[in-house]
């Protein structure tokens, strides 16, 4: 007997089918199918042929391909009994629960005492499908590997794009050509990692940012993931995502994958990007005060590092407020003898040498300037040179003689005592002071991947959020080492990178927008000479790059010249005027004909206005700028186009371009099919163009 199920939104259809109660397989995923499509017929025609050298029937590429069906590729589940014997599963459908937008399939394997479920939920507003798998066992078993429901990858695709990176160089895109065999990525660092953002995009042939078909995947888990993108010998392709292998240290009776977020787009990579941006912003992230505008942020790390001196910090706070800052964050260095990064992590008590009257004098000063106050913690870490380590060396995770990372070990977050201790210390600081923001850092990889560690961190965050719902939390891990939808269920901002080099940021932000909306993506104006790259950049460029996302400042304001301060003030003021719509806008990556230009268009939710940021990342090979095509406008509407920073045109831009002197009205059709011809500019500069529908 054939059974089929479908999930639809306006732009996509997902069809699963099975016969004889076998595990279902995705038999169609792509553009919306007609309502009256006969699914049984789809199932019948879906099968690929058999020829010499093949089995007599092709094993299903099911939601969890099974070795017992002689599946010729990587299985979706690998489990062992508690004595180590491999359990070869053979699941049989027991129930299919269908309700609008949801499908839950339940299977049993009676011989092995197992129950498996695959759950799908489609969000018709964001176009993201959440897919999750769970396993239950009568007896405790070892889980080696479990994939979230396995998806097919398109055949008309020549390559896949996944994401790697490094400290100060997050969100680098890798393109890998499809070929028989496996593209295998596994992150065994125990945190999401700079190196392994858990995302994948599979564009169909010819897809660009703005057109064509693409499929995208994101695994919402902070403990390290495994991805398999496999082309089978018969040509079929499968995508698997799950926790890194062997993350469950002990035999258990219940297991669950994290949600796998997937989406299909028929309008380019931007279709996937916008789906993820909206889904994260509107369905996952819970802002403490959703109606509050995102405050302009200041972080003192690169201004003072560990040298906390109250008069200096007060002076910095006053200068930050004068620039338009609305939230002041005190970074590392405020607690027990923390004068450098060799000691004191986990001793979360205010350092009386630096703050003899506690934090209140600083907090009161910050408040008197109209700003709110935030503070840095790195809860999951401990320095061997700390009071807590001396009292509880057994709280540290991993071997006694392990290699340290930034002179620190990770705490064992699976231990309730550790979580209670951290909760009490953090809660004490929060209860005693008017603090509305935590920068939550995580600067060391774990000695080994361990799902209990991640669950322990989540539990601590959940407990703190329940008790302090007004506190916003930023996820930082040496910059962008813990960015994923799992941590963002519990936090509201990410520190994309420790690099405040605007040129590096321009590139990173462009790629991160494939998954992340502006409202969670912190970007700060750094020092004139960047502390992590040594590059010297103009204030206008630094400020506009920060204005592309949740804007902040992270530098010593005492270094600012009057001119720099005025430029910064103006951009902060522009950002404040526009954040209301920009923080809810779609970020659209533009297709730039000039590889030196990295450009994006932020389009308001009502499509009535937009802003284009065209960053010049290098010197162009041709002499004059090439027109930049915009996207997603109404071809029949007219838009007033205003180059708002035209005063930045340099002397070498000698032409008489209209945009340099006035606004112009142009049709959406012209803007999308010819594009905007911008003035000549220096590298490391940014043009900012506003558009308003007339």
Q: Give kind and range of the element (H or E) at residue 323.
A: helix 310-323
- Helix then strand then coil, in percent of the chain rounded to 5, is 25, 30, 45
CB of 243 to ligand DGJ, least distance (A): 25
Contact predicate 383/346, CB 8 Å? yes
Residue 84, classed as helix, strand or coil, is coil
| C-beta closer to ligand DGJ: residue 439 or 510 | 439
> Minimum distance from CB of 505 to ligand DGJ (Å)?
14
d(CA 382, CA 396): 7
First to last CA, the chain: 58
Of residues 476 and 599, the one with the C-beta less far from ligand DGJ? 476
DSSP string, 535-592: -B--HHHHHHHHHTSEEEE-S-GGG--HHHHHHHHHHHHHHHHHHHHHTTSEEEE---
Annotated catalytic, 498?
Answer: yes
The distance of closest approach from Cβ of residue 418 to ligand DGJ in the complex, given in angstroms and rounded to an integer, is: 21
Residue whose C-alpha is closest to residue 374's, from 270, 484, 295: 295
Q: Which is nearer to ligand DGJ, 438 or 689 (CB)?
A: 438
Q: DSSP letters along 567-581, please?
A: HHHHHHHHHHHHHHH
- CB nearer ligand DGJ, residue 244 or residue 476: 476
CB of 498 to ligand DGJ, least distance (A): 5
Catalytic residue, from 498, 501, 586, 594: name it.
498
Residue 320: C-alpha distances to residues 3, 247, 301, 575 (Å): 63, 44, 13, 15
Q: Which is nearer to ligand DGJ, 275 or 516 (CB)?
A: 516
- Residues contacting residue 368 through CB under 8 Å, at least 6 positions apart: none
Tokens coding 128: 């993201």
Q: Indicate the residue among 355 and 610 with the shorter CB distance to ligand DGJ.
A: 355
Q: How far is the C-alpha of 183 from the C-alpha of 96, rounded, in Å? A: 32
Contacts with ligand DGJ by CB under 6 A lie at 301, 331-332, 376, 441, 443, 476, 478-479, 495, 498
How many CB atoms lie under 10 A from the CB of residue 400? Answer: 9
CB of 194 to ligand DGJ, least distance (A): 11
Distance CA 355, CA 343 (A): 18
Catalytic residue chosen out of the listed positions 109, 162, 351, 441: 441
Quote the least distance from Cβ 76 to ligand DGJ, whole Å: 36
Nearest CB to ligand DGJ, comparing residues 341 and 690: 341
If the CB atoms of residues 16 and 344 are measured against ligand DGJ, the closer one turns out to be: 344
Residue with the two structure tokens 């069906």: 69
CB crowding 307-330: b at 16 or more within 10 Å, else e: ebeeeebbebbebbbebbbbbbbb
385 catalytic per annotation? no
Q: Which is nearer to ligand DGJ, 531 or 607 (CB)?
A: 531
* Pairing of β 493-495 and β 86-87: unpaired
Report in angstroms how near the CB of residue 56 gets to ligand DGJ at its nearest.
57
Alpha-carbon 661 to chain mean position: 39
Q: How far is the CB of 477 from ligand DGJ (least distance, A)?
A: 7
Residue among 216, 103, 197 at smallest CA distance from 154: 216
Beta bridge partner(s), residue 265: 214
Cβ 300 to ligand DGJ shortest distance, Å? 10
Which residues have a catalytic role annotated?
A: 441, 498
């Amino acid at each position: 007997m054939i059974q089929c199920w479908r999930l639809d939104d306006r732009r996509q259809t997902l069809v699963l089918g099975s016969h004889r109660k076998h595990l279902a397989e995705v038999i169609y995923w792509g553009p919306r199918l007609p309502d009256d499509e006969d699914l049984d017929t789809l199932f019948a025609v879906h099968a690929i042929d058999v020829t010499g050298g093949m089995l007599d029937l092709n094993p299903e590429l099911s939601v969890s391909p099974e070795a017992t069906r002689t599946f010729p590729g990587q299985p979706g589940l690998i489990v062992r009994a508690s004595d180590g014997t491999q359990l070869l599963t053979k699941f049989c459908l027991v129930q299919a629960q269908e309700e609008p937008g949801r499908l839950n399939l339940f299977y049993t394997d009676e011989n092995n005492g197992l129950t498996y479920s695959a759950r799908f939920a489609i969000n018709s507003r964001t176009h993201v499908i959440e897919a999750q798998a769970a396993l239950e066992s009568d007896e405790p078993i070892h889980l080696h590997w479990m994939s979230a429901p396995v998806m097919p990858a398109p055949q008309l695709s020549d390559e896949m794009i996944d994401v790697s990176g490094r400290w100060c160089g997050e969100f680098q895109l890798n393109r890998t050509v499809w070929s028989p065999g496996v593209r295998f990525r596994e992150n065994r660092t125990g945190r999401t990692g700079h190196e392994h953002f858990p995302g994948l995009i599979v564009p169909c042939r010819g897809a660009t940012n703005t057109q064509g078909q693409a499929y995208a995947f994101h695994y919402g888990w902070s403990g390290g993931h495994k991805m398999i993108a496999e082309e089978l010998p018969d040509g079929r392709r499968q995508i698997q995502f799950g926790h890194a292998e062997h993350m469950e240290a002990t035999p258990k009776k219940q297991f669950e994958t994290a949600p796998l977020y997937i989406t299909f787009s028929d309008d380019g990579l931007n279709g996937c990007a916008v789906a993820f941006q909206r889904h994260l912003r509107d369905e996952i992230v819970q802002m403490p005060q959703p109606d509050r505008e995102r405050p302009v942020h200041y972080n003192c790390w690169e201004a003072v590092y560990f040298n906390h001196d109250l008069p200096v910090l007060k002076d910095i706070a006053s200068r930050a407020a004068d620039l338009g800052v609305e939230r002041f964050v005190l970074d590392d260095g405020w607690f027990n003898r923390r004068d450098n990064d060799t000691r004191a992590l986990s001793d979360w008590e205010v350092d009386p040498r630096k703050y003899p009257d506690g934090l209140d004098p600083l907090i009161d000063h910050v408040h008197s300037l109209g700003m709110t106050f935030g503070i840095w913690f790195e809860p999951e870490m401990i320095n061997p040179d700390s009071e807590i380590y001396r009292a509880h060396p057994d709280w540290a995770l991993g071997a006694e003689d392990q290699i340290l990372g930034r002179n620190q070990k990770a705490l064992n977050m699976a231990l309730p005592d550790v979580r209670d201790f951290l909760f009490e210390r953090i809660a004490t600081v929060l209860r005693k002071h008017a603090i509305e923001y935590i920068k939550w850092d995580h600067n060391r990889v774990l000695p080994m991947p361990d799902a209990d560690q991640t669950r322990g961190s989540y539990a601590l965050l959940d407990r703190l959020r329940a008790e302090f719902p007004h506190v916003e939390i930023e996820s930082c891990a040496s910059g962008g080492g813990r960015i994923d939808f799992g941590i963002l269920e519990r936090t509201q901002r990410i520190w994309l990178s420790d690099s405040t080099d605007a040129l590096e940021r321009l590139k990173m932000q462009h790629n991160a927008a494939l998954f992340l909306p502006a409202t969670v993506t912190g970007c700060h104006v750094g020092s004139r000479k960047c502390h992590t790259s040594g590059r010297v950049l103009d204030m206008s460029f630094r400020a506009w790059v920060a204005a592309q996302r949740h804007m902040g400042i992270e530098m010593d304001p005492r270094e600012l010249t009057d001119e720099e301060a005025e430029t910064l003030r103006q951009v902060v003021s522009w950002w404040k005027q526009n954040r209301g719509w920009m923080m809810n806008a779609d970020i659209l990556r533009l297709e730039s004909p000039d590889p030196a230009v990295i450009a994006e268009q932020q389009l308001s939710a009502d499509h009535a206005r937009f802003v284009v940021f065209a960053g010049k990342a290098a010197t162009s090979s041709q002499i004059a700028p090439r027109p930049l095509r915009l996207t997603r406008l109404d071809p029949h509407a007219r838009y007033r186009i205003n180059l708002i920073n035209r005063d930045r045109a340099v002397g070498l831009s000698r032409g008489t371009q209209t945009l340099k002197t006035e606004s112009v009205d142009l049709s959406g059709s012209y803007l999308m099919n010819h594009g905007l011809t911008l003035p000549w500019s220096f590298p490391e500069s940014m043009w900012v163009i506003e558009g308003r529908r007339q």
